[in-house]
Amino acid sequence: MFLEKSNKYHKRNGWVEVICGSMFSGKTEELIRRLNRAKIAKLKVEIFKPAIDNRYDEENVVSHDDNSIHSTPVETASNILFYSKDFEVVGIDEAQFFDDELPAVCNKLADAGKRVIVAGLDMDFSGKPFGSIPSLMATAEYVTKVHAICMKCGNLAQYSHRTIKNDKLVVLGEKDSYEPLCRNCFNEARKKL
């Protein structure tokens, strides 16, 4: 009887986790790891990615280490609300490519009792805060910043340096277009542009 009453009035707590860092730092790898652990716990899990990100696969989220997990590509952040009703854990990859509604969507999901795990670049190619990731970091319960290794000196890298000439904010690319750099090497590389 007591359990019935307490469960009746107990609302499951939701929260937001952000995994951020530069390219090649293991953000997607960490996202996949957390989602797989939730699946082991028999939770209902779904992952979303922006439809524009088809670098490795049209539907799967794929890490640089070739680990993958099936996902639902969506055009806008608000689509995530529509498709995530039946899930307890919601993963979002490449969050920097979503529109400015993403923080509100993540908070609505968390308010509804869902665990929301978001992965994305915290800075763009010029070292400026990227998309809605800074807002998400401010409102998230948990923030994990991961680092790559600087391709010039071997220190920890937190910048995604674009190695091709292109001033557009969004340029989908891989090792042919970007390299992770530490602060000093990034500043030196930016001087040469």
Tokens 């542009």 correspond to 193
> Which of 39, 11, 109 is closest to 92 using CA atoms?
109
User: Cα 187–190–193 angle (5° rounding)?
Assistant: 160
| Cβ-proximal residues to 131 (8 Å cutoff; 6+ apart), any chain | 95, 96, 97, 98, 100, 102, 120, 121
Tell me if residue 179 is catalytic. no
| Catalytic hit among 17, 30, 94, 179 | 94
Q: Are strands 61-62 and 156-157 parallel, antiparallel or unpaired?
A: unpaired
Q: How far is CA 57 from the centre of its chain?
A: 17
Catalytic residues: 94
